[in-house]
Structure 1
Amino acid sequence: MNKNEQGIQYMQEGKWEEAAKVFSEAIEENPNDAVSYINFGNVLTAVGEVAKAENFYNKAISIDENAGAAYYALGNLYYDNDKLMAAKDQFEKAIKVGLQNSDCYFMLGMTLQQLDQPKLAMPYIQRSVELNPEDNDARFQYALCLANAELYEELIKVLEEVLERDPKHADALYNLGVAYAGHLEDAEKALECFTKALEAQSDHMLAANGKKIMEQLLAEQ
């Protein structure tokens, strides 16, 4: 096991000081290895040393301008500190230099959503799901993009896929109910979805409101 592998193991165990020591030794032994700087930056990020972490990621990029992991790490750092335009730029650079990582596509999509650019976000979140079909969070976010674009047939299909993996996903159940109510005008199906959403999360106020509206609608028929 080399020093970078040893340091990553320490990080997984939450042993930040030990990880920092090993990565520091790796940098001393090979000061032109971008990976060691990225790993050290990840330790600094984990312990809240944001400014120092940024310096290490930038050092990694100065050594290797194709270090996709450094751009991705910077993107996360900026995203977590609400520097959304800077985050977007870094995620885009990571993808441009060849980082085919589902998390990177997902974070770029989420950043674009935060920047009120849902149409631009959609293909990146869709790509994230393609790269990692087991990521149900990404699949649900893709569904929200479809809802925003009013692509209801595809929306219903994707929400059902979310619920296949997590039958008690309250937000997916609520959004499916909205789709049934608004697009298919199926009040009974909508009521069923809102009811299941409340069974999964009793304080889901939007589902409670939807359930009340559907009950009133059905009572009037």
Structure 2
Amino acid sequence: MSKRAIVGIIGLALGLWLAAGYGFSQAYAGKGRIKGTVTDESGSALEGVRIKLFHESSASGFETKTDSYGRWEANFVRGGQWRMDFSKTGYESRRDLAVVSEAGKPLTGTTVLKKVAGLVLSDDLMKLLDEANVLFNDGKIDEARAAYEKLLVENPEAYILNINIGNCYFKKEEYDPAIVSYLKVLDKDPKYVKALVALGNAYTNKDEGDKAMEYYSQIDSAQVDDVDVLYNIGVGFYKAGKPADALKYFQRSVELNAAYADGIYYLGLCYLNIQDNPAAIATFENYLKADPDSERAGQVKGFLEYLRKK
């Protein structure tokens, strides 16, 4: 997108995620290992979950899937920060971040995916939904939107599909129809967090900060456990010139994932803007532990040099 005040469409997991930026080079190769398990909220293993792994500093990555036991692994990967996007049709997508050491033991963990509320489809219709998601991921946005709309007509109780339809409009920077679609979800569930965030993002990109804040302010940071959602809300407040309001969202994102470099960076900026210099220094020092080599790391080092002279 040429104009993008908010980085990213809200990842509504119906298996829908953003695929841009995942290369197929071997720049990510190294001696590290990542192993994990994916379950539903009851603890049952989820087979066939797609995991897109992206190595931040080399800007490369690859895909894998969980086996029948919900297990997956990535071998011979480079050290540093990795972004991992988990997606399975019928479940909310999730993004985790981790810092891999090539010298240490394999990094392990369990990821829990939540069922998408308001989505009850037969196996055959789930297959059609998966096909629509593939169209979206392949950049065939108009075809994907038509497929989502057809599914919604045939299954009007699956109102959550309006998020996907809205995301198609958002992807094309057609924010007004995106807003109409997101509002249809709020008509059914006024507290649905992903719709509230999506509306805030759309209004932010329309340069209507007051309207964006109307939706962002309805979201309690303590009730959100998705670091990307927290990040998007925080960025919305920050870009509206409200770093003190943004602070709690970035704090929460870093509580959930101490290696979340984007959250740490903006947390430091918030402290810097409210002139809490000791907290800004500590936060930027933590940033360099998570991301020591990027172009942004150079900027952070400049912040630290400036702050330590004060």
TM-score range, shorter chain: 0.7 to 0.9
Structure 2 Cα separation of the partners of residues 135 and 52 of structure 1: 32
| Aligned counterparts of 1:163 and 1:66: Cα–Cα separation in 2 | 36
Contact 2:221-2:252 at 8 Å conserved across structures: no
**Aligned partner (choices 236, 243, 247) of residue 118 of structure 1:** 243
If you compute each CA radius of gyration, which structure gives the higher value, 1 or 2?
1
C-alpha distance in 2 between matches for 1:152 and 1:66: 36
Report the counterpart of residue 92 of structure 1 in structure 2. Answer: 217
1:135 aligns with 2:257: no
> What residue identity is the alignment partner of 1:132?
N
- Aligned runs of 1:1-221 on 2, under 5 Å? 2=126, 3-95=128-220, 98-168=223-293, 169-182=297-310
Alignment check: 8 A CA contact 1:118 1:145 kept = yes
Q: Distance in 2 between matches of 1:22 and 1:99?
A: 30
Task: Give the TM-score normalised by the residue count of structure 2.
Answer: 0.54
* Greater mean deviation of Cα atoms: 127-136 or 166-175: 127-136
Report the CA distance between 1:159 and its aligned residue. 1.0
Q: Once the 2 structures are TM-superposed, how far is the Cα of residue 99 of structure 1 from its aligned partner?
A: 4.4
Distance (whole Å) between structure 1 residues aligned to residue 162 and residue 222 of structure 2: 18
Instruction: List per-residue Cα deviations over 1:121-163 (Å, max 9, x = no partner).
Output: 2112211222333321221111112223333333222211211
Structure with bigger strand share is 2
Q: 1:152 to 1:48 in 2, by over 3 A?
A: closer
Count residues in correspondence. Answer: 182
Identity of aligned residues (%): 25
Output the aligned Cα RMSD.
Answer: 2.2
What SS does structure 1 have at the residue aligned with 2:160? helix
Structure 2 vs 1, CA of residues 13 and 95 (structure 1 numbering), >3 Å: closer, same or farther?
farther
SS in 1 for 2:213: helix
Q: Which runs of 5+ in 2 are unaligned?
A: 1-88, 90-125
User: What secondary structure is seen at the aligned counterpart in 1 of 2:217?
Assistant: helix
Cα distance between partner residues in 2 of 1:99 and 1:43 = 24
| Contact 2:221/2:249 (8 A) holds in 1 | no
Q: Which structure has the higher relative contact order (CA within 8 Å, separation 6+)? A: 2
Read off the aligned partner of 2:302 and give its amino acid letter. Y
Using structure 1 for the length normalisation, give the TM-score.
0.73
Relative distance call for 1:132 and 1:84 in structure 2 (3 A) is: farther
- Structure 1 segments, 4+ long, off by >6 Å, are none
